[in-house]
Amino acid sequence: MSAPRADVATERAVVLANLSRRGFLQGMTALGSFVLAAGFPSAVRAADPPKYGADGMPNGWVDDPLVFVGIAADGTVSIVCHRSEMGQGVRTGMPMIVADELEADWKRVRVVQAPGDEKRFGNQDTDGSRSTRHFFDPMRRCGAAARTMLEAAAATRWGVPVSEVEARNHEVVHAKTGRRAGYGSLAKEAAQQPVPARDGVRLKDPSKFRYIGKGQIKLVDGRDMVTGKAQYGIDTRLPGMLYAVVARPPVYGGKVVSVDSTETLKVPGVLKVVEIEASPAPAQFNPLGGVAVVARNTWAAIQGRKALKVIWDDGPNGSYDSVAFKASMEESARKPSKVVRDNGNVDTAMAGAAKKVEAEYYIPHLAHAPMEPPAATVRITKGKAEVWGCFQSPQATRDLVAKRLGLQPADVTVHVTLLGGGFGRKSKPDFGIEAAVVSKAMEGKPVKLTWTREDDLMHTYFHTVSVEHLEAGLDAQGKPVAWMHRSVAPTLFSTFDAAARNEHALELGMGVINVPFAIPNIRIENPEATAHTRIGWFRAVSNIPHAFAVQSFVAELAAAAGRDPKDYLLEVIGPARRITPEALSDAWNHGESPEKYPVDTGRLRRVVETAAREAGWGRQLPKGRGLGIAAHYSFVSYVASVIEVAVDDAGEISIPRVDIAVDCGATVNPDRVRAQMQGAAVMGLGIATVGEMTFKAGRAQQDNFHTYEVTRMSGAPRETRVHIIPGDYGQPMGGVGEPGVPPIAPALCNAIFAATGKRIRRLPIRDQLKA
């Protein structure tokens, strides 16, 4: 294996990084388990003050230049990226922050991927749209501290006060005498300098940024990606490597009763069949179990698996049926249940309302379907395991592989490859553990374990399935006076806790409990729901069903009131104000400080107004065309989308244009913000129009891209315009990877209503317009 991203410490002449660690600038100590990494505020122990943001994540943050920056004698600057690249551009963005403060010449920067080691690098769980907002400040300090050390080294060499020298574009300059020294020549002396105290580090004035916010830097992996050189988890090759695929129980919680591998072992190239212990529900991050087929190449393993004769015990979920489950959720959604937010008196207001509106929405299970399915390679030598793979959470992989193999985490090295898409799927390291189990059964030989597309779709950690029931009372002027939302969905926490029946604070805080509406009477309820498959987080998570229901319903109220949907939405949001999440009964707030991150309706209004203005809201459209708008606050960012839809006489949809306004605070790499919004529009349209996983007799019914459809180029918008609201680097940043997704489906369905008068309440739309 070419081992493309070796640990920085093993690289040649990485002077700074070769110094011993100096106990300072340490990350926070571990809080709770990685299961909590979905992003809780960590106010778990009453005695501790609550911690937010990166401080609240396991192992917090590290800003030590000795950990992240290396300078070689030839001037090459190595910068460690400790977050996983899955298309969001983090391997470009994170090092850009360091390089900017370091005054490094980007042409001489190389990026080194960190192995899984949170004690050393800080939290590495790449999900929750957190990388930039949690690590912008630490990475700035890191680059600035390294720059300070280079300046101090030059001043010492020249015997001049440090205040007289300045680092500028890869060299330190003494203006008075015109002396200059390149970073390479200073590296060794800089390494002798003390790491400056954090509060003594001088950060650049943002007006002096060279790269941050500018957008001239190309993707560090771009060239490799277009020439076939980029290394993903599925591309790992090691000498003597074997290949494996796994036959997993078709039903969640099932297990093997008996295996007949006679025919399998006759397939040319098949070497061995290995049983993997089943994990009863809740499976957490453990493998589902089943039978691995080990072979000399992937194809032989797949052929061998086809020839297996396995008798399965389906376990308690063998009757899971999506049609019946939808009916049961609808029944729950129509009865009073657990109240999770209660402002004013909804019943009284509803009774006195001039008009009552009621609607129910359905959003099915989804599969992430990253183009690269999960794949991992493990080799075990002399009690030490090495793992290569496309992991969003390399530390969890390390801990759990160690646990399964009976090793210490220190004996497990996790190399993070590029991820061919993640979308939340690759936060779960079950596939790494599977590879470890099989490698162990093969006496530690290197084994690459690949999930086929069928495995990926039928055995993922599914996005939940939801019924959203809404009722509102309008006064004589059509203004809403009462809002009642009952949200029913199996919780993703059911994958960790068999007793979990209600949406967790984390899920409620994704746009159902924290609607920032200027409505005096609001009640949110959450009936119980039991999970019958493995639920997990999918890009934007519960914001998808919640935003779909809430933003569709606001448009339905506008229609009932005879009002323009955009004006009505702004009226429902109400005047610009900063609302503490507590006032919305939101205990989660995306894991962020309620003081730093209140819900700012001024910002929400501004994205609505911007998207509407840029889209030409109100313009005349030909027959069959319509504009729809939706806005949503998630991952502490504000996004509004206007979609123009064209519905032809046959009921076929096309999308001439999408306008997206995003306020995520200040940006590091605006082109990647645009790219994330453009991509979110495509994924959101797929969710709205074609995406659906269903179950029958406990078994997922869609097994490849002909049955689980995703948006293709022909269904993509002709044009997606992204309007980034300018931000201030002194203000907290928001997320970018996920917040673009939630407004898309409701904006589309609102546009369809404008075009056709037909209201879509059940996703996906598929052929509902063809009737």
Partner 1 sequence: MASVTVNGRRHPVNLPDDTPLLWALRDELGLTGTKYGCGMALCGACTVHVDGQPVRACMTPISAVAGSKVTTIEAIGTDHVGRALQAAWVDMGVPQCGYCQAGQIMSATALLRRNRKPTDAQIDEAMSGNICRCGTYGRVRAAIKQVASRTGAGR
Which residue of 197, 257, 351, 371 would you call a contact of partner 1, by CB under 8 A?
371
**Alpha-carbon gap, residue 425 to 393, rounded angstroms:** 10
Q: Which of 199, 202, 186, 198 is nearest to 16 (CA)?
A: 186
**Alpha-carbon gap, residue 295 to 24, rounded angstroms:** 48
264 binds partner 1, rule: CB under 8 A? no
Residue 560, H or E segment: helix 543-561
431 binds partner 1, rule: CB under 8 A? no
Smallest gap from Cβ 707 to partner 1, in A, equals 10
Q: By three-state DSSP, how is residue 134 classified?
A: helix
Backbone angles phi, psi at 357, to 5 degrees: -125, 140
Region near partner 1 per CB under 8 A, out of 168-176, 367-375, 507-515, 643-651: 367-375
Which residue of 347, 564, 614, 671 would you call a contact of partner 1, by CB under 8 A?
671
441 binds partner 1, rule: CB under 8 A? no
- Tokens in use for 412? 């497990």
Which residue of 675, 725, 747, 752 would you call a contact of partner 1, by CB under 8 A?
675
222 binds partner 1, rule: CB under 8 A? yes
356 binds partner 1, rule: CB under 8 A? no
**Binding pattern for the stretch 294-333 against partner 1, x by CB under 8 A and - elsewhere:** ---xxx--x-------------------------------
For partner 1, the closer CB: 87 or 253: 87
* CA 599 distance to own-chain centroid: 21
Smallest gap from Cβ 235 to partner 1, in A, equals 4
For partner 1, the closer CB: 363 or 680: 680
**Alpha-carbon gap, residue 401 to 436, rounded angstroms:** 7
CB atoms inside a 10 Å sphere around CB 453? 15
**Alpha-carbon gap, residue 93 to 768, rounded angstroms:** 42
**Alpha-carbon gap, residue 642 to 750, rounded angstroms:** 9
Q: Which residues contact 260 (CB under 8 A, 6 or more apart)?
A: 308, 309, 310
Find residue 646's DSSP bridge partners.
625, 654
What's the start-to-end Cα distance of the chain, in Å? 55
Which residue of 39, 89, 424, 516 would you call a contact of partner 1, by CB under 8 A?
89
CA max distance for the chain: 83
Q: Contact 242/435 with Cβ under 8 angstroms?
A: no
583 binds partner 1, rule: CB under 8 A? no
For partner 1, the closer CB: 355 or 657: 657
Q: By three-state DSSP, how is residue 145 classified?
A: helix
- Tokens in use for 205? 């004035």
CA dihedral 671, 676, 681, 682 (to 10 degrees): 100
For partner 1, the closer CB: 45 or 718: 718
Region near partner 1 per CB under 8 A, out of 39-47, 313-321, 446-454, 555-563: 446-454
Residue with tokens 């459809």: 709
Smallest gap from Cβ 650 to partner 1, in A, equals 17
**Alpha-carbon gap, residue 704 to 458, rounded angstroms:** 9
For partner 1, the closer CB: 170 or 723: 723
Which residue of 6, 177, 277, 705 would you call a contact of partner 1, by CB under 8 A?
705
Smallest gap from Cβ 304 to partner 1, in A, equals 12
74 binds partner 1, rule: CB under 8 A? no
127 binds partner 1, rule: CB under 8 A? no
**Alpha-carbon gap, residue 248 to 151, rounded angstroms:** 58
Smallest gap from Cβ 2 to partner 1, in A, equals 10
Q: Contact 591/541 with Cβ under 8 angstroms?
A: no
Region near partner 1 per CB under 8 A, out of 353-361, 370-378, 628-636, 690-698: 370-378
Smallest gap from Cβ 594 to partner 1, in A, equals 33
**Binding pattern for the stretch 243-262 against partner 1, x by CB under 8 A and - elsewhere:** x-------------------
Residue with tokens 């190309």: 218
**Alpha-carbon gap, residue 635 to 632, rounded angstroms:** 10
For partner 1, the closer CB: 156 or 452: 452
- Tokens in use for 180? 């200059």
Q: Contact 489/545 with Cβ under 8 angstroms?
A: yes
Region near partner 1 per CB under 8 A, out of 45-53, 98-106, 161-169, 709-717: 709-717
Smallest gap from Cβ 237 to partner 1, in A, equals 6
239 binds partner 1, rule: CB under 8 A? no
348 binds partner 1, rule: CB under 8 A? no
| Angle formed at CA 216 by CA 212 and CA 222, multiple of 5 degrees | 105
Sign of CA dihedral 390, 378, 69, 131: positive
**Binding pattern for the stretch 678-697 against partner 1, x by CB under 8 A and - elsewhere:** xxxxxx--------------
629 binds partner 1, rule: CB under 8 A? no
DSSP state of 171: E
Smallest gap from Cβ 109 to partner 1, in A, equals 17
Which residue of 719, 726, 728, 731 would you call a contact of partner 1, by CB under 8 A?
719
Q: Which amino acid is at 400?
A: L
Q: What is the DSSP string of 291-360?
A: EEEEESSHHHHHHHHHT-EEEEE-GGGTT--HHHHHHHHHHHHTS---EEEEES-HHHHHHT-SEEEEEE
Which residue of 720, 724, 732, 755 would you call a contact of partner 1, by CB under 8 A?
720
424 binds partner 1, rule: CB under 8 A? no
For partner 1 (CB under 8 A), the number of binding residues is 67
240 binds partner 1, rule: CB under 8 A? no
Q: Contact 312/250 with Cβ under 8 angstroms?
A: yes
CB atoms inside a 10 Å sphere around CB 490? 25
Residue spans of alpha helices (H) in 620-743: 670-689
Smallest gap from Cβ 738 to partner 1, in A, equals 13
132 binds partner 1, rule: CB under 8 A? no
Smallest gap from Cβ 752 to partner 1, in A, equals 20
Q: Hey, which residues between 480 and 539 contact partner 1 (CB under 8 A)?
A: none
Q: Hey, which residues between 448 and 467 contact partner 1 (CB under 8 A)?
A: 450, 452-454
Smallest gap from Cβ 232 to partner 1, in A, equals 6
Smallest gap from Cβ 224 to partner 1, in A, equals 8
698 binds partner 1, rule: CB under 8 A? no
Q: Residues interacting with partner 1, by CB under 8 A? A: 85-89, 218-219, 221-232, 234-235, 237, 243, 268-269, 297-299, 302, 369-373, 418-423, 450, 452-454, 671-672, 675-676, 678-683, 704-706, 710-714, 716-720
